[in-house]
Structures are given as structure tokens and as C-alpha cells.
């Protein structure tokens, strides 16, 4: 029963794909099937964006449906709820709505497939998780394309990552890209006292003085860096950036003397938007990137089949990843349920 018992240490788990068709819904289905054998564990499940459809709306390829079990709680929208292939009883209807209608919370009475669609912003998702955990032991969140921010450790307790042939036909490149994301989840945490001070600052850019005080630089966003580049290091070489760490910021750091003296602090790995080459350049020069919240990455799943039709030998990907990343790593399809 690989990595499943580890999940029971947490209350909420996000499933994140490195890209569309990386196999995260298969990973979710695997976890749901294994949790079903734990009779006393009450499980709830929802999604960011639409999930559970038979045809991927972006790539126009077939994809697995979400298969749930009796007594599972699930959340979906008014438009998708009638598409369920199970008997269920509705326990709640949200006041707020999405483009697909209000959110329906229901409890499954039978086995079967559902289409999931959940909250559209992080605050709503956090509140929904809190609500679901009042009646359930564990909440599973299925992610969506380019929405890894919903895997933030400020929202869910832990994460399962899916990767594979969708990234490249090269095992080396799959490993390289997956390892980069893994390394970002392992960045060091900021000191606790500093985290307490910075956790309520959601916009702008802040300089951190040697005494540990945050000074507002009155820079609205890193997206306006070109306008404020003469100001950004005027107070300190340690910055807190609630928004995005961007390639433009790293390029600016390349023009500074002694990059090893600079420290960038962000909320968590989901706020790092600088590319692999720039990020590694900064870290290899001795610069530091720290996070307020560290991510609990529990396992990695591998899909060796690309939506373009080619397939890589599963063991080659698994072997390459396992040499670099000390986590449970599996091809879900090769595990006997």
C-alpha cells in the first residue's frame, strides 16, 4: 500500500500535475481506491477547475474519470452534478457561484464516476476545506492546468506530484524538470519570528533590515520592476516578495556585485516563476531563496505515456527519478490495486 498510510498524517492533500495529462487524476483515483479499504476514514474530494471529464478540454485527448466510493463526500457544480453516475444525497449548496453554477456538496451512496468542479479562488478553497473537515477526516483536492498555486502549503497540508512523458520524450529532461520542482519544495523556511511578521503582507515588496524589520519599499508589484529597479535594493539585500519571483528579478541580480549576499523570501514554492536556469544560477552563486511555508511533498507518480502517443519505458523514468529524488515514486498503473 505505497505512501497511503503517510497521507493519514494530514488533513488535506493536493494533487498537482507538472502539465496536463501527467496522470494526477489517475493518482487521485488510486488514492481513493486505497483509502476505501480504511473503514474508519471519512474522505472528501473536490477539484480546481473541471475534472472527471472523459475528454480533456484543452488537449482533446481521453482522460480518466474520478471514481468515488460509498460514503465519500464530493463537491461539484450545479451543472456537473447531474452528470454523476452514482446515487448521492446533497448535504449543502453554496451561496456563491461559479460559471458552472453554485457548488453542490453531496455524499455518495454507491460506487461510480463523477465530474468535479470546485472553488475558483484560494480563499474560497481554504474555507471549503475547513467546512469539509468538520465532517470528514481527509480532503483531497484535484488540481488543474497552471493552477499549482492551489497546492500552496498555506492551503493544503501536503501534495502529491505527477510527472511523465508529457514533459518530454527524453528521460533526462523529465528528470531535470521534475527535480527542479522538487528542489523548490525543499527550499529552507524563513525564521519563525520573521514568518509571523510577513504572513499578513500580501502585496508589494519589502526590505528586511538586519534587525529583522520589514520596510515597505512602496513597489506595487514585481511586474513593475523596470520602473523601480533603482529602488529595490536601496534599503537591504534581503527582500520579501509576496507575489512572484520573476526572471526579471534574477536578471537584475546578475548585474549586482556579490550575489551571494542577497536573500529572496517568498510565501512558498508556488510563487517562484523564474525559470530553472536563472534560479539555479542565483542559488549556485550563493544567493538564498527562503519560504514562509514549506511544502510536504509526499510522493511522485509517473505517467510514461504522452498525449501525443509516444510511450517511454516506465522503469527508465522511475530509475532516473529515484536516483535524484528521495521520495516514493511510482507508476500507478503498475501497482496492483
Per-residue pLDDT of 186-225, as tens digits, reads 999 999 999 999 998 989 999 999 999 999 999 998 888 8
Q: Note whether 74 and 105 are same-domain residues.
A: yes
Q: Note whether 67 and 137 are same-domain residues.
A: yes
pTM of the model: 0.90
CATH number of the domain that 281 lies in? 3.40.140
Residue 1: predicted pLDDT: 47
Rounded to whole angstroms, the Cα distance separating 74 from 32 reads 12
Q: Note whether 149 and 68 are same-domain residues.
A: yes
Q: Note whether 63 and 20 are same-domain residues.
A: yes
Rounded to whole angstroms, the Cα distance separating 111 from 277 reads 46
Facing residues of 106 across strands? Answer: 74, 90
Q: Note whether 150 and 173 are same-domain residues.
A: yes
Q: How far is it between the farthest Cα atoms of the chain?
A: 65
User: 10, 296 in Cβ contact below 8 A?
Assistant: yes
Neighbours of 283 (CB within 10 A): 14
C-alpha cell at 125: 478553497
- 45 burial (CB, 10 Å; 0-12 / 13-18 / 19+) is buried
First to last CA, the chain: 8
Which residue range(s) make up the domain with 266? 192-291
Rounded to whole angstroms, the Cα distance separating 77 from 98 reads 8
Calculate mean pLDDT across residues 76-100.
94
Average pLDDT score over the chain:
89
Per-residue pLDDT of 152-196, as tens digits, reads 888 899 999 999 999 999 999 999 999 999 999 999 999 999 999
User: 23, 164 in Cβ contact below 8 A?
Assistant: yes
Assess whether pLDDT exceeds 80 at residue 146. no
C-alpha cell at 255: 548585474
CATH number of the domain that 42 lies in? 3.40.50.300
User: 301, 330 in Cβ contact below 8 A?
Assistant: yes
Rounded to whole angstroms, the Cα distance separating 307 from 219 reads 42
Nearest of 52, 321, 322, 333 to residue 173 by alpha carbon:
321
Rounded to whole angstroms, the Cα distance separating 219 from 228 reads 7
Q: State how many domains the chain has.
A: 2
Residue 149: predicted pLDDT: 62
Assess whether pLDDT exceeds 70 at residue 122. yes
Residue 197: predicted pLDDT: 93
Per-residue pLDDT of 3-38, as tens digits, reads 788 889 999 999 999 888 888 889 999 999 999 988
Q: Note whether 154 and 229 are same-domain residues.
A: no
Q: Note whether 147 and 199 are same-domain residues.
A: no
Share of the chain above pLDDT 90, in %: 72
Calculate mean pLDDT across residues 237-250.
94
Q: Note whether 129 and 197 are same-domain residues.
A: no
Nearest of 116, 153, 156 to residue 267 by alpha carbon:
153
* 144 pLDDT tier (thresholds 50, 70, 90): low
- β-pairing, 101-108 vs 73-77, is antiparallel
Rounded to whole angstroms, the Cα distance separating 17 from 166 reads 10
Assess whether pLDDT exceeds 60 at residue 264. yes
Nearest of 185, 212, 184, 218 to residue 198 by alpha carbon:
212
Rounded to whole angstroms, the Cα distance separating 267 from 292 reads 5
Rounded to whole angstroms, the Cα distance separating 299 from 283 reads 25
Of 291, 306, 321, which residue is a domain's last? 291
Residue 231 is given by DSSP the state T
N residues, the chain? 337
Rounded to whole angstroms, the Cα distance separating 77 from 115 reads 9
Q: Note whether 109 and 229 are same-domain residues.
A: no
Per-residue pLDDT of 281-318, as tens digits, reads 999 999 999 999 999 999 999 999 888 888 999 999 99
Q: Note whether 210 and 179 are same-domain residues.
A: no
User: 300, 327 in Cβ contact below 8 A?
Assistant: yes
Q: Note whether 66 and 140 are same-domain residues.
A: yes
* 335 pLDDT tier (thresholds 50, 70, 90): low
Q: Which residues are CB-neighbours of 26 under 8 A, at least 6 positions away?
A: 64, 162, 301, 303, 332, 333
Q: Note whether 212 and 196 are same-domain residues.
A: yes
Amino acid at each position: 500500500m505505497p505512501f497511503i498510510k503517510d497521507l493519514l498524517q494530514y488533513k488535506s492533500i493536493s494533487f498537482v500535475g507538472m502539465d496536463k495529462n501527467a496522470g494526477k487524476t489517475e493518482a487521485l483515483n488510486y488514492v481513493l481506491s486505497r483509502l476505501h479499504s480504511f473503514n474508519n476514514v471519512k474522505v472528501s474530494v473536490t477539484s480546481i477547475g473541471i475534472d472527471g471529464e472523459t475528454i480533456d478540454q484543452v488537449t482533446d485527448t481521453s482522460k480518466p474519470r474520478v471514481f468515488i466510493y460509498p460514503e465519500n463526500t464530493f463537491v461539484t457544480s450545479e451543472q456537473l452534478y447531474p452528470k454523476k453516475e452514482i446515487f448521492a444525497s446533497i448535504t449543502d449548496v453554496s451561496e456563491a457561484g461559479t460559471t458552472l453554477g453554485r457548488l453542490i456538496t453531496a455524499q455518495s451512496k454507491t460506487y461510480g464516476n463523477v465530474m468535479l468542479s470546485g472553488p475558483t479562488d484560494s480563499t474560497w478553497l481554504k474555507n471549503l476545506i475547513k467546512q469539509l473537515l468538520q465532517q470528514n477526516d481527509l480532503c483531497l483536492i484535484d488540481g488543474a492546468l497552471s493552477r499549482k498555486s492551489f497546492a500552496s502549503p498555506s492551503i493544503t497540508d501536503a501534495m502529491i506530484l505527477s510527472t511523465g512523458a508529457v514533459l518530454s520524450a527524453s528521460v533526462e529532461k523529465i528528470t531535470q524538470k521534475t527535480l527542479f520542482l522538487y528542489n523548490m519544495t525543499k527550499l529552507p523556511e524563513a525564521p519563525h519570528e520573521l514568518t509571523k511578521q510577513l504572513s499578513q503582507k500580501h502585496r508589494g515588496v519589502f526590505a528586511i533590515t538586519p534587525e529583522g524589520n520589514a520596510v515597505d519599499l512602496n513597489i506595487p508589484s514585481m511586474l513593475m520592476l523596470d520602473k523601480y529597479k533603482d529602488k529595490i535594493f536601496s534599503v537591504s539585500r534581503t527582500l520579501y516578495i509576496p507575489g512572484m519571483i520573476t526572471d526579471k528579478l534574477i536578471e537584475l541580480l546578475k548585474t549586482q556585485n556579490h550575489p551571494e549576499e542577497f536573500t529572496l523570501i517568498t510565501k512558498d514554492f508556488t510563487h517562484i516563476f523564474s525559470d530553472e536556469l536563472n534560479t539555479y544560477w542565483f542559488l549556485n552563486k550563493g544567493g538564498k531563496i527562503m519560504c514562509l511555508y514549506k511544502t510536504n511533498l509526499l510522493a511522485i507518480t509517473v505517467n510514461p505515456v504522452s498525449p501525443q502517443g509516444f510511450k517511454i519505458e516506465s522503469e527508465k523514468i522511475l530509475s532516473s527519478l529515484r536516483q535524484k529524488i528521495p521520495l516514493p515514486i511510482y507508476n500507478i498503473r503498475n501497482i496492483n490495486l
